[in-house]
Amino acid sequence: MNITLTILRYNPKTDSAPKFQDFAVKVEPTDRLLDTLMFIKRNLDGTLSFRKSCAHGVCGSDAMIINGVERLACKTLIRDVVEQEGAVVTIEPLKSLPVQRDLMVDYEHFFEAYREVKPFLIPTRDPEHAEYIQTQEQRRQFDDPTKCILCAACYSACPVIRNKEADFIGPAAVVQAARFVFDSRDKGAEPRLDSLDRPDGVWACRSYFECTRACPRGIKVTKNINLTKRQIKKLKEKGQ
Ligand code: SF4
Ligand code: FES
């Protein structure tokens, strides 16, 4: 099968502006887009830059925009893209994060927001037994956000961030906060309010649902943000 990848290339050190470059390649329909990028790097242009690690949809490092939609290159089958969208595939880096080179973006700001929400268990006491006991129902309460692989697809897709409507902490950071806020063993909701309960915290979300659409792990991102908003309101009512 012959396809053309149209890739947005940019080296901020040497280029005045990003520009698209076409690569015509012969691929197997069962190849993934990541395989094709690796083929190009090995055989056609060693300077093409992109991130990848696990190649199995687990590490989150190869999120990029494929035909205008945030996806993981390792989870995108060539056959599916070509059948549904044609044999010319456009690839761009994630939006709202500075481009380091080609498809590689700088995640510093994204991870700063992640660290801000204290994404770790904050218990107030030692466990009564050898471990903290939790029922299956209590565990189910935060099952959805545990699936997050910090790929930043939601961050790129978020119109609030993209259009600079607010300096939003970002959907992924709230999902990571929700992972612990709804954990019965955690008592860290209050210390997390500093980063969540402010205009650029959860309240900057305007429920566009683009994050939910973009998430390659199927996380109900907007729902998690709205549940966190509700939890913050409850906490504040209790404190009054
Ligand atoms: S919530 Fe989904 S899209 Fe956002 S960082 Fe986590 S896995 Fe990626
Ligand atoms: S390379 Fe790890 S998620 Fe794609």
User: Given a cut of 90, is residue 132 above it in pLDDT?
Assistant: no
User: Given a cut of 80, is residue 199 above it in pLDDT?
Assistant: yes
CA-nearest residue, atom 1 of ligand 2? 55
User: Given a cut of 70, is residue 50 above it in pLDDT?
Assistant: yes
Please work out whether the CB of residue 148 comes within 6 Å of at least one atom of ligand 1. yes
Which single residue is written with the structure tokens 């959805």? 144
User: Given a cut of 60, is residue 240 above it in pLDDT?
Assistant: no
- The answer to whether the predicted template modeling score (pTM) of the entire model surpasses 0.85 is yes
CA distances from 20 to 8, 38, 85, 89, 145 (A): 4, 18, 19, 12, 36
What average pLDDT does the structure give for the chain? 95
Instruction: Give one DSSP letter per residue of 184-196, joined into a string.
Output: TT---HHHHHHHH
Average pLDDT over residues 5-17: 97
Instruction: Give one DSSP letter per residue of the chain, joined into a string.
Output: -EEEEEEEE--TTT-SS-EEEEEEEE--TT-BHHHHHHHHHHHT-TT-----SSSSSSS-TTEEEETTEEEEGGG-BHHHHHHHH-SEEEEEPPSSS-EEETTEE--HHHHHHHHHT--S---SS--SSSS----HHHHHTTTGGGG-----HHHHH-HHHHTTSS----HHHHHHHHHHHT-TT---HHHHHHHHSSTTTGGG-----HHHHH-TT---HHHHHHHHHHHHHHHHHHH-
User: Given a cut of 70, is residue 200 above it in pLDDT?
Assistant: yes
CA of 103 to the centre of ligand 2 (A): 14
Please work out whether the CB of residue 50 comes within 6 Å of at least one atom of ligand 2. no
User: Given a cut of 90, is residue 125 above it in pLDDT?
Assistant: no
Please work out whether the CB of residue 88 comes within 6 Å of at least one atom of ligand 2. no
C-alpha torsion 49→105→65→19, nearest 10 = -60
Task: Enumerate the β-bridge partners of residue 71.
Answer: 64
Which single residue is written with the structure tokens 């612990």? 180
| Structure tokens given for 62 | 């190869």
- Choice from 146, 154, 160, 208 to test ligand 1 binding pocket (greatest atom count within 8 A of CB): 154
User: Given a cut of 70, is residue 63 above it in pLDDT?
Assistant: yes
